[in-house]
Amino acid sequence: MNTPAIGTDPRLRAALRRLDLRIVHRLDGLLHGEHLGLRLGPGSEAAEARLYQPGEDDVRHMDWAVTARTDTPHVRDLVADRELESWTLLDLSPRMDFGTGLYSKRDVAVGALVAANLLTQRVGDRFGAHFLHQGRVRRWPARSGKEALLGLLATVAAAPTGDENVPAADGATLADAIDDLVRTRRRRGLRVVVSDFLDTPAFGGTVPWERPLRMLAARHQVLVVEVVDPRELDVPEVGDVALRDPSSGRVRDVRLTRAVRERYRRAAAEQRATIRSALRRCGVQHLVLRTDRDWVLDIARFVVDQRRTAHHMARHTPGAPR
């Protein structure tokens, strides 16, 4: 992908400013300073004070102010505050250009990528990206800051869409792209996979991307963002229509009757159930964004729920990494 000049492109800056306002203003403060260390052991960020345990606690961590106020020795717990490196795998295959709701799937997917990076880069972390585009996996190096995010947006904006974005028959798949992320990004951190997962078989069979995703989740914290368009779940009974496969460009005439609609709905529901089951087996976090909904609000709700869950687990899990 060729990246256009971004310093003087007012459209990209305006787009980022709008996304920043929509995303950060709704989520402001929810994740600031909230990511946890990925390894066991003490850190450098002061946490709560507690009673000193002779023979167990390091006297160098003594909190003298609390000790003086209470006349009882107290130590200050430390929280690991290590730099987080996040990588996003963004599916830019031809079917992501489809959309019948308020947005295209590509628009929602790019919004999810920007949301993840805006939230992590607020605490000085680095973010990078892999793109599945035209049957190839392309990489964008990890950086930090708004200028880097503008460069990332410019790279996505420069990626061809529609008829120009037709992969070769033997091109890379989503499973290949996840495997590439596993092999090339070894440092522990956050991994975000954004796709519609429509290459998942509807009725049984092996889920091709499950094994590499499980390998990814074994080492990193993984968030999977599934992008859905309502027409992928149901179709209207409108009679004869010409349907085009965005991946191959083939066109097929189909008569959308009630019977066809019912079969389509059953197949779509089965496919989504297969996706959910595979993601549960991988042990990843799963967020569904739809093109006919306010995806920013859905992300906000997801972040709030995850933060509450993390705090609950931290309070009730002895010895959990902090």
pLDDT band (50, 70, 90) for residue 181:
very high
Q: Which two tokens stand for residue 215?
A: 């390998």
Task: Work out the pLDDT band at 36, boundaries 50, 70, 90.
Answer: very low
Q: Pairing between strand 239-244 and 251-256?
A: antiparallel
Average pLDDT over residues 15-19: 61
Q: How far apart are CA 114 and CA 24, in angstroms?
A: 10
* 239-262 pLDDT per residue, tens: 888 888 777 778 989 899 999 999
DSSP helix/strand/coil, 47: strand
User: Residue ranges per domain, the chain?
Assistant: 10-30+84-316, 45-79
Q: What is the 3-state secondary structure (H, E, C) of 97-140?
A: HCCCCCCCHHHHHHHHHHHHHHHHHCCCCEEEEEEEECCEEEEE
CA angle 285, 290, 296 (to 5 degrees): 75
Beta carbons within 8 Å of 217's beta carbon, 6+ residues apart:
282, 283, 284
Residue pair 122/130 in contact (Cβ under 8 Å)? The answer is: no
Residue 34, pLDDT > 70, answer no
Give the model's confidence band at 43: pLDDT under 50 very low, under 70 low, under 90 confident, else very high. Answer: very low
Give the C-alpha separation, 30 to 307, whole Å: 8
pLDDT at res. 48: 66
To the nearest whole number, what is the mean pLDDT of the chain? 80
Give the model's pLDDT for residue 156: 86
* 296-305 residue pLDDT tens: 888 888 877 7
User: Is the per-residue pLDDT at 49 higher than 60?
Assistant: yes
In angstroms, the CA 143 to CA 38 distance is 20
Give the pLDDT confidence of 265-313 residue by residue, as tens digits. 999 999 999 999 999 999 999 999 999 998 888 888 887 777 777 666 6
* Secondary structure element (H or E) that encloses residue 87, with its range: strand 85-91
Let me know: does 314 contact 322? Beta carbons within 8 Å: yes
pLDDT of residue 10: 65
Model confidence pLDDT, tens digit, residues 56-114: 778 888 889 889 988 899 888 765 445 678 899 999 999 999 988 888 999 999 989 98
What the block records as the tokens of 212 is: 């590499």
Predicted confidence at residue 11, as pLDDT, reads 61
Q: What is the per-residue pLDDT across 196-213, written as a single tens digit (0 to 9) for each?
A: 999 898 877 889 999 999
Inform me whether the pLDDT recorded for 42 exceeds 50: no
**Terminal-to-terminal C-alpha distance of the chain:** 39
pLDDT on residue 9: 56
The correct CATH number of 10-30+84-316 out of 3.40.50.410, 3.40.640.10, 2.40.110.10, 3.30.460.10 is: 3.40.50.410
- Per-residue pLDDT tens for 212-232? 999 999 999 999 999 999 999
How far CA 241 is from CA of 97, 122, 238, 256, in Å, comes to 20, 48, 8, 7
CB 143 within 8 A of CB 128: yes
**Which structure tokens are listed for 75?**
């130590």
- Which two structure tokens, joined as six digits, stand for 262? 């019912």
Residue 322: the pLDDT is 47
pLDDT for the residue 188: 86
Q: According to the model, what pLDDT value does residue 268 have?
A: 94
Residue 202's CB: how many other CB atoms inside 10 A?
Answer: 15
Q: Is the pLDDT of residue 40 over 50?
A: no
pLDDT at 12: 55
Cα angle 183, 184, 187 (rounded to 5 degrees) comes to 100
**Once rounded to an integer, what is the mean pLDDT over residues 183-188?**
89
Which secondary structure element, helix H or strand E, spans residue 254, and what is its range? strand 251-256
Q: How much is the average pLDDT of 109-132?
A: 82
Quick one: average pLDDT of 143-162? 81
